[in-house]
A and B are shown apart, each in its own frame.
Chain A
Amino acid sequence: MTEPAPAIALPAPAVARWQDYVRLLKPRVMSLVVFTAFTGLMCARTPMDPVLGAVAVLCIALGAGGSAALNMAYDADIDLLMRRTRGRPVPAGAVQAADALALGITLSLFSVGIMGLAINWLAAGLLGFTIVFYAVVYTMWLKRRTPQNIVLGGLAGALPPVVGWAAASGAAPFNAWLLVAIIFLWTPPHFWALSLYTSADYANAGVPMMPVVKGPASTRRQILAYSVVLALAALAPTFTGLGGATYFGVAALGGLVFVALAVRLARSGAGDAAPEHDGLYDVKAAARPARDLFAFSILYLFGLFGALLAERFAALAGIST
């Protein structure tokens, strides 16, 4: 019979500053969400009042912030056990979990309500689904139960482009879901590369990340498989009329580099040795291929969506790409 995990005492409450509440919203994640949602909004190619477009992006940003606050409220116990997350406002004792929960619920209801009233209810529904999927399905159900947590949970991070697209056009066509598919396929190699050199933290917190459950060799093979599928899927927008020549060039070149880095990682021993570094991101030489793929994956996604956005702005300016 397994013993239940002992309750972990959070630090005594400290004085909460307004900046601590901003940190609950995960501003860096929010910026990526805004970027991909804005790309979806622009790619819809539907004329939209710029003020209402800005309101839609604001709602998506606040929805992302609300779901991040809900995540931090629920995950405070395991965040305290990992170096990457122990400085977050709730585990650090700056903000009470109940306050983070209240902020998350308020922002979630506010963002969905304003999106519905000011833009349209399809976008509001998709935004609400995204928030619930991240806060409930990923955070409460998947994260602590299965090594497929970030594969399935990645849907929440992948949905912002279709929310933006729906906000602009009132529809969610195939091309919008293609953007969702690209981020969905990008998520596993991105997070597994990171977890290969931070697996000790996840193991310590009892989070069943893939390297902890299946081992680093299996994780490296799965990263390679996802990378190949991702590189091919990222070419698809060129053939559906969504991306042009610039996008194709970025997707083809970026995909080749992505797969090459995944092959290098698969052949390496990244994650095999027990981490002995002192600093969180002081990566041992053996784990560098994982760190390199993790870093490039961010650049790659930014490049893909940046190319789509650049092509759209060029089209609006009458420049042929």
Chain B
Amino acid sequence: MSDPNLESPQAAKARGGRNIAIAIALAAFVILVFVISIAKMSAHVAAPH
């Protein structure tokens, strides 16, 4: 008798895809904050006053 809680292959594949998408989104957020920080600091270095 099959376990009703067992994830189907299709659901497992979809979950894997969602996990990768979340990982990419988190990495993109880190890069975005880094890039914004560099751009804002560069502007102040170029024109300190």
* A residues lining the B interface (CB < 8 Å): 15-18, 21, 49, 51-52, 55, 58, 114, 117-118
User: Which of the residues B18, B38, B40, B43 comes within 8 Å of A18, measured between beta carbons?
Assistant: B18
B11: nearest chain-A partner, CB-CB:
A15
Q: Is the CB of A118 within 8 A of B36?
A: yes
Given A21-B21, A114-B32; A15-B39 close (CB under 8 Å): no
Does B10 touch A at the CB level, under 8 Å? yes
What distance in Å separates the Cβ of A24 from its nearest Cβ neighbour in chain B? 13
B side interface size, CB within 8 A: 16
Residues of chain A within 8 A (CB-CB) of B32 are 55, 58, 114
Does B35 touch A at the CB level, under 8 Å? yes
Most A-side CB within 10 Å, residue of B8, B10, B32, B38:
B32
How many A-B contacts at CB < 8 Å in the complex?
Answer: 36
What distance in Å separates the Cβ of A68 from its nearest Cβ neighbour in chain B? 17
Q: Is the CB of B18 within 8 A of A16?
A: yes
Q: Is the CB of A16 within 8 A of B36?
A: no
* B residues lining the A interface (CB < 8 Å): 8, 10-11, 14, 17-18, 20-21, 32, 35-36, 38-40, 42-43
User: Which of the residues A17, A52, A117, A118 comes within 8 Å of B18, measured between beta carbons?
Assistant: A17
**A18, B24: Cα distance in complex, Å:** 12
What distance in Å separates the Cβ of B7 from its nearest Cβ neighbour in chain A? 10
Q: Is the CB of A15 within 8 A of B21?
A: no
Q: Is the CB of B14 within 8 A of A15?
A: yes
Q: Is the CB of A17 within 8 A of B14?
A: yes
The secondary-structure label for the interface of chain A is helix
**A16, B11: Cα distance in complex, Å:** 8
What distance in Å separates the Cβ of A244 from its nearest Cβ neighbour in chain B? 31
**A52, B35: Cα distance in complex, Å:** 9
Q: Is the CB of B36 within 8 A of A55?
A: yes
B38: nearest chain-A partner, CB-CB:
A51
Q: Is the CB of B36 within 8 A of A15?
A: no
Residues of chain A within 8 A (CB-CB) of B8 are 15
Given A15-B10, A51-B35; A118-B40 close (CB under 8 Å): yes
A59: nearest chain-B partner, CB-CB:
B32
Given A15-B10, A17-B14; A52-B39 close (CB under 8 Å): yes
Task: Identify 15 residue pairs between A and B in the complex whose beta-carbon atoms are under 8 Å apart, listed by A's number.
Answer: A15-B10, A15-B14, A16-B14, A17-B14, A18-B18, A21-B18, A21-B21, A51-B39, A52-B36, A52-B39, A55-B32, A55-B35, A114-B36, A117-B36, A118-B36
Residues of chain B within 8 A (CB-CB) of A118 are 36, 40
Most A-side CB within 10 Å, residue of B10, B14, B20, B38:
B14
